[in-house]
Structure 1
Amino acid sequence: MSDAPSRRDLLARLSAAGFASLTLPADAFAQSVELPATPACEGHSTATPRQTEGPFFTPSSPQRADLRADGEGALLVLSGFVLTRQCRPIPGALLDFWHADAGGQYDNRGFRFRGHLFADQQGRYQFITRAPGLYTGRTRHLHVKVRAGTQSPALTTQLYFPDEPGNRRDGLFDQKLLMSLRPGEGGQLGRFDFVLAA
């Protein structure tokens, strides 16, 4: 018998913790949404560093938080908060993600491994995808744009995987942009909180 919580137990705990607005696919990692009702605020006074969007950004991605059907690879469930520098959650913040497929290729004609979502009323988000592959000259990474509102400038940055051999050789790599990862069934559970300057 497994020690993992049942879906019913998980939903009861999420509802009690104020996560009623998050809907999990039946086979998503149960652990992925165990964020606190409010963020821990230690160390959140510094804005998330900006990085180049690179040559592969495509505007007007579809609104979808689950990209698993786009290809092969280990699952990655990334959760976190979007916050101000005063550690206040930013409800409804827009997060636009894109990354390479398992073979290191970007889809520049369509929207494979591209999508956007909105943070909930507590500033929380959850993004489900497949781990990207490598392409020449770069370590594995995710691209993201985060915007607090229609008038505010977007934070454009990249997120990195810890313990990647390519991190040391990648000229864009920034340790402040490392996701916190732990193993889960069939992949990894990630955490990253975005802190917007404005």
Structure 2
Amino acid sequence: MTDKFIFRFVAAVTVFVITVVVVLNRHLIPGPEVAPAFTPYLPMLNAVLNGTCTILLLTSLYYIKQGNIAVHKRLNIITFCLSSTFLVSYILFHYLMRHDTLYGDANFDGVLSPAERENVGGMRTLYLSILVPHIILAAGVLPLILLSFYRGLQMQVAKHRKLVRWTFPIWLFVTVTGVIVYLMIKPYYNF
């Protein structure tokens, strides 16, 4: 496979995933009339997957600094698979939850009364200050992860290292803030 093919493939996957997420978050595709019973558990699953990925990323960093490429590679494959599972679960949740179902949102709209929203002011600001960079960086890190993963599997060490200098801290930030965002919005879920 040529680099040109890989770049096109990564661009296509990235555009597809971002489009699906935007379409589902805007509720442009109607979900089922009644969400399956497991649906309310998906946000918690997503937080667990993000937390696990955080631990695996840090452990992977430890092993590569120790020169243990085999363990580093295995941990990154597991992390990649768990992140992919997270993405499927995230998309599934947003498809299954109908737009007229209150399950919490970034603005706390519809979840709290106006009086309650006034009391949340500082918390809402903090929540949004974490959520906005989380969303932007989650979208931006996808092509970096895919390219870093490819370079690593191909043992293109120099190219892998250059990419990972950016990929690792962004991916780590996204996994950590994913858990924080979940913990902050969880009290406002209305399942």
Q: TM-score range by the shorter chain?
A: under 0.3
Point out the structure with the larger strand share. 1
TM (norm. structure 2) is 0.26
Q: Greater RCO between the two (CA within 8 Å, min separation 6)?
A: 2
The structure with the largest alpha-carbon Rg is 2
- Which one has the bigger helix percentage? 2
